[in-house]
Amino acid sequence: MSRVALVQGASRGIGLAFVRALLERPDVDRVVATCRAPEASDALARLGSKHGDALVSLRLDVRDEGSIAEAAERVEATCGKRLHWLINSAGLLHDDRGVRPEKKLEDADPARLRAVFEVNAFGPLLVAKHFVGLLRHEERAVVANLSARVGSIGDNRLGGWYGYRASKAAQNMFTRTLAIELARRAPNAICVALHPGTVDTQLSRPFSGSVPAERLFDADRAAHQLLGVLDGCEPEQSGCFLAWDGEAIPW
């Protein structure tokens, strides 16, 4: 039986490292990598040359629901009706269109807040909406949404970063609610939110200067650590928020 993994947000950073790690695993037959412009990712092209048909790269923009629906149809047509890993990695903290984490209340801007919520919160939910049919099978499946510790309401002592924090808190609620629905509709699917730690990527680089070297993971290490957490997840942990070392984080 062919075992298929999909990584959403796979052009770079932690998502790309998940793709690399999954392609090396003997228990994974095919990896679907999605992002807004797969043809523009040299790293995905190199992996495609090395791994041939084991890697399928597809366009999926989480802010364009039609592209999510289209990707789901393409996955079913090329890989079949069973998905064993669905990893939502796409995230937005800053971009070259003015999105940046707010330092104070006056920095809050509706259009930028909307963009951050659309990618970080609505994205994984809409992906689940269109892929749920591929999670309903008799084998173990995992849905993992890349969250962030700063999305924990209980853990928020520093303030700031209104949009990113709140979008991850909203994503966490979507993940927990989805886990409850999946228990009915896809009972073999375990659904969790994951905190990867601080990882050296384009997303974190402007803000990670003060992080001690031993606490700053490279993306490959982060992906391996998170896959280890997912491999060890028990069905009772569905609906949990887990850190890279397996620790449960308060919502």
Ligand X SMILES: NC(=O)c1ccc[n+]([C@@H]2O[C@H](COP(=O)([O-])OP(=O)(O)OC[C@H]3O[C@@H](n4cnc5c(N)ncnc54)[C@H](OP(=O)(O)O)[C@@H]3O)[C@@H](O)[C@H]2O)c1
* End-to-end CA gap in the chain: 36
Q: At what angle do helices 219-232 and 13-23 cross, to 10 degrees?
A: 60
Q: Which residue number, 131 or 139, has a Cβ lying nearer to ligand X?
A: 131
Residue 92 touches ligand X, criterion: CB under 6 A: yes
Is the distance from CB of 50 to CB of 18 less than 8 angstroms?
Answer: no
Q: Which residue number, 1 or 37, has a Cβ lying nearer to ligand X?
A: 37
Residue 172 touches ligand X, criterion: CB under 6 A: no
Q: Which residue number, 14 or 182, has a Cβ lying nearer to ligand X?
A: 14
Q: Could you give the CA distance from residue 141 to residue 84 in angstroms, rounded to a whole number?
A: 4
Minimum gap (Å) between residue 189 Cβ and ligand X:
20
Minimum gap (Å) between residue 246 Cβ and ligand X:
16
Residue 99 touches ligand X, criterion: CB under 6 A: no
Contact letters for ligand X, residues 184-203 (x by CB under 6 A): ------------x-xx-xxx
In angstroms, what CA-CA distances link 222 with 4, 141, 148? 21, 21, 13
Closest by CA position to 172, among listed 68, 242, 224, 222? 242
Longest Cα separation, the chain: 55
Is the distance from CB of 179 to CB of 238 less than 8 angstroms?
Answer: yes
Residue 31 touches ligand X, criterion: CB under 6 A: no
Q: Could you give the CA distance from residue 114 to residue 221 in angstroms, rounded to a whole number?
A: 32
Residue 163 touches ligand X, criterion: CB under 6 A: no
Minimum gap (Å) between residue 146 Cβ and ligand X:
4
Residue 36 touches ligand X, criterion: CB under 6 A: yes
Footprint on residues 114-133 left by ligand X (CB under 6 A) = 119
At position 174, the amino acid (one-letter code) is F
Q: Which residues bind ligand X (CB under 6 A)?
A: 9-15, 35-37, 60-63, 89-92, 119, 146, 148, 196, 198-199, 201-204
